[in-house]
Structure 1
Amino acid sequence: MEVPAADGLILRGTLYAPHGDAPAVMLIHQLYTTQSSWAFLVEPLTEAGFNVLTIDLRGYGRTRGRINWQAALTDVQTWARWLDDQPGIQSVSMLGSSMGSVLAVEGCYLYDPCPRAVALSPAMNYYSVSIEDALAGDLPVMIAYADRDRYPARDMDEIVEIAGDDLTLFTYSGRTHGIDLFALDETLGASVVSFLKGEAVAQPAESVETGG
């Protein structure tokens, strides 16, 4: 898929849409990776009834251009509008990892129809993209992080305080970061699906829910 950005850059992604009328999830990759890093999650999401969009952020993969995180935040909203306009798309939620996690949370907040966001290893602010306003709103957010992962661990108390009851939090022991959390907890994918569906989220024995 090719979509023009606000500044004319051609954004590139892949839409997996096996369903007719269905909700959609946009997957936003972390630093030094591309949309292909989400290959393991596409099938579980489509089998759960979602259409899925994976994207290459500017400066990565087939999108090219220079890395610009404020522009990338605008790109996420551009993709969301495009996806929402596709036939049969009922809603657009967002899931991101590391740098992609703050783009997902803030992007979902700024794209008002977005019903919920999932963030793997977020900080309050990565590269001047802050999630504070999003957390202070009423956006349902699921966060998974490791308690010795430097930046998420540093900011998590503040994140929990600001987000309050809108937050579903998975805390793991160690330093595992981003999409590697799925390898740490084989049930995390199912928990993400439940959250995106608005269902109760089961907490595995290894993680503890705090705040929310």
Structure 2
Amino acid sequence: MPRYLIPFALACLMSLALPVARAAAPEAVSLKAADGLVLKADWVRSDKPASRAVLLLHMMGGNRGGWAPLVPRLTAAGFNVLAVDQRGFGETGGERNWLLAATDAVAWMQWLRQQAGIDEAQVAAAGASIGGSTALLACALDAQCATVVSLSAPGNFSSVLPEGKTIPALLESYDGRSAYLAAGRFDRIFANGALDYARLLKGEVQLHIYDTSAHGTVMLSHEDTPGLADEVLRWLDSHVGAAPRD
């Protein structure tokens, strides 16, 4: 079984290792995609007067709860958080289509910019496994995307794109913006994927290859990658606007 099919339940169990922080109860929200599919998500506001937001995209086989261990820390750092069920998964359902999933993510980022208090220039995306590739593609399509965090994005992502579409061509419009990439050295396909993306992206890129086989959001609380969650938070904090004052 491909590693990007790591069960979501494992990520939930590993979340127990993260420092305790509490987020507000999520609000279930929906958005109609261009093809009529109703997309589902959880919207969590920071309890601070925050003008910045991050879109979270889950792994293959997961759902919008995949990033749950990090959400309280994000909101505590002054981020409003939108965790979505990508098409083909969770409550969104429908058929899987990864190029449409990227356009869905663009639509969600536009939704974020329409929410009260959100600065249009302070919206970022983070994704894990194939969601990491989707986040990169979405931000290539969305010129306002502030930065991307991509964990364990697959190097063979082209195999699920429509015929004639290639990753290098799709990422050309990323226009030198910043990206944080991480993967496990022994999660070989995905480590190679991170290296490929680092070569393709022309802006500020931070690449961290950990000595682990842990994958995607599992790395946020894995014993082999104890500093990853902190690195992700620092990256977003330094690349998406200014932290709100208490």
Equivalent-residue separation in structure 2 for 1:117 and 1:160 (angstroms): 12
Q: What SS is found at the alignment partner of 1:151?
A: helix
> Displacement of 1:164 after TM fit?
5.1
| Conservation of the 8 A alpha-carbon contact between 2:176 and 2:202 | no
Q: Which residue of 2 aligns with 1:6?
A: 34
Within the alignment, does 1:17 sit opposite 2:62 as a pair?
Answer: no
Q: Could you tell me which amino acid in structure 2 is paired with residue 162 of structure 1?
A: L
Aligned match for 2:229, one of 189, 198, 201:
189
**Higher relative contact order (CA closer than 8 Å, sequence separation 6+):** 2
Over the matched positions of the two proteins, sequence identity in percent amounts to: 32
Letter in 1 for 2:93: R
Residue of structure 2 in register with 1:61 after alignment? 90
Residues 50, 79 of structure 2: 8 Å contact kept: no
List aligned pairs for 1:152-191, cutoff 5 A: 152-163=190-201, 166-184=204-222, 185-191=225-231
* Deviation (angstroms), 1:161: 2.8
Q: Report the alpha carbon displacement of residue 156 of structure 1 after superposing the two structures with TM.
A: 4.2
Q: Please, which runs of 5 or more residues in structure 2 have no aligned partner?
A: 1-28, 240-246
Instruction: Indicate the structure with greater strand content.
Output: 1
Superposed, 1:51-200 pairs within 5 Å as 51-90=80-119, 91-126=122-157, 127-128=160-161, 131-132=167-168, 133-134=170-171, 137-163=175-201, 166-184=204-222, 185-198=225-238
- The 3-state SS of whatever aligns with 1:37 is coil
CA–CA distance in structure 2, aligned partners of residues 150 and 7 of structure 1: 35
TM-score, L = length of structure 1: 0.86
Q: Aligned equivalents of 1:65 and 1:159: distance in 2?
A: 28
State the SS of the aligned residue for 2:69: helix
Change (3 A) 1:172 1:77: same
Asked whether the 8 Å contact 2:51–2:118 carries over to 1, the reply is yes
Q: How far apart are residue 30 of structure 1 and its match? A: 0.5
- Displacement of 1:155 in angstroms is 3.7
Unpaired stretches in structure 1, ≥5 consecutive residues? 200-212
Cα-to-partner distance string for 1:52-86 (whole Å, 9 max, x where unaligned): 00000111111111111111111111111111111
* Offset, 1:177: 1.1
2:192 is paired with a residue of what secondary structure? Answer: helix
Counterpart-to-counterpart distance in 2, 1:6 and 1:82: 13
Cα-Cα RMSD: 1.9
Residue 22 of structure 1, CA deviation: 1.7
The residue aligned with 2:15 is none
Count, aligned residues: 199
